[in-house]
Structure 1
């Protein structure tokens, strides 16, 4: 992982909104945040499944299109790109976290128990991603992404 990418991921961020209307099943929303030191603009996306109600995608972006982190829950298996000619692509089943790299963009993902994730946020307990509540999952994702001000989440008719 390129050092600058890790700096973006590890930077403390502050959400612009104090209250968030959590999207219903089948809906999406995007929240804005600002890096405390860099003043970089960050975006946090929530995408909830319509047909598969356990499917949730949460992502943290910069510069509108660069996905730094994407957490996929309840989706299909994911095939990582081949690292070299000697190794077949790894296929991940179950929840996984995509982490941006200059070489692979956001196509490289890791199982949630992969020790590599501890390098991204050593203070975060990855077990917090094992929740049945989409709202708690989103809060945990914000914490993993170093958001310092947790919003009030308004959830009507989930």
Structure 2
């Protein structure tokens, strides 16, 4: 479900910070529907100068209504940041374990294997829609896609 390509392990910390901090815009004006159980949507983004392409992935669990993932990828395969909501516990390569909702941020040499506690921006989130809105802010998505929630979100 997560895209881990070996070539992304060679991206430098400076380049990742650059990609993370670039302002991004949704390429399409179409409306998207928040995925139903087991569903996924992939939304194309580009930097405001149109020199870099990104993807916003939104996944829903097959069973648990509250388990959701949002990911921002650069250049189709580089997982810059991923938010796992109500996820199974995660163990980092250094042995630290995180339970529940956590944020994966690309780390040079480790890809997206490291997870971190949520930053303060996410403390008021109550629904997947709230988390998605804050995640898009965190990823510097300026022109956001229109994503309509269904009754079961």
Which ranges of structure 1 fall in alignment gaps of 5 or more residues? 83-88, 114-124
Task: State how many pairs are aligned.
Answer: 140
TM-score, normalising length: structure 1: 0.81
Give the drift of 1:33: 0.3
Q: State whether residues 24 and 157 of structure 1, in contact with CA within 8 Å, keep that contact through their aligned partners in structure 2.
A: no
TM-score, normalising length: structure 2: 0.83
CA distance in structure 2 between the partners assigned to 1:20 and 1:90 by the alignment: 36
SS in 1 for 2:73: strand
CA distance in structure 2 between the partners assigned to 1:39 and 1:46 by the alignment: 23
Listed as ranges, the matches of 1:1-12 within 5 Å are 2-12=13-23
1:100 to 82, 94, 106: 106
CA distance in structure 2 between the partners assigned to 1:109 and 1:38 by the alignment: 29
Match of 2:42 in 1: 30
- C-alpha deviations, 1:101-128, integer Å up to 9, x for none? 1211100110114xxxxxxxxxxx5235
CA distance in structure 2 between the partners assigned to 1:51 and 1:10 by the alignment: 34
Listed as ranges, the matches of 1:1-158 within 5 Å are 2-18=13-29, 19-37=31-49, 39-82=51-94, 89-113=95-119, 125-128=120-123, 130-158=124-152
Which ranges of structure 2 fall in alignment gaps of 5 or more residues? 1-11
- Say what the alpha-carbon RMSD is for the aligned residues: 1.7
SS in 2 for 1:5: helix
CA distance in structure 2 between the partners assigned to 1:29 and 1:131 by the alignment: 21
Q: Which runs of 4+ in 1 moved over 3 A?
A: none
- C-alpha deviations, 1:26-85, integer Å up to 9, x for none? 211100000113621100000011211111110000122210001001111000002xxx
Give the drift of 1:157: 4.3
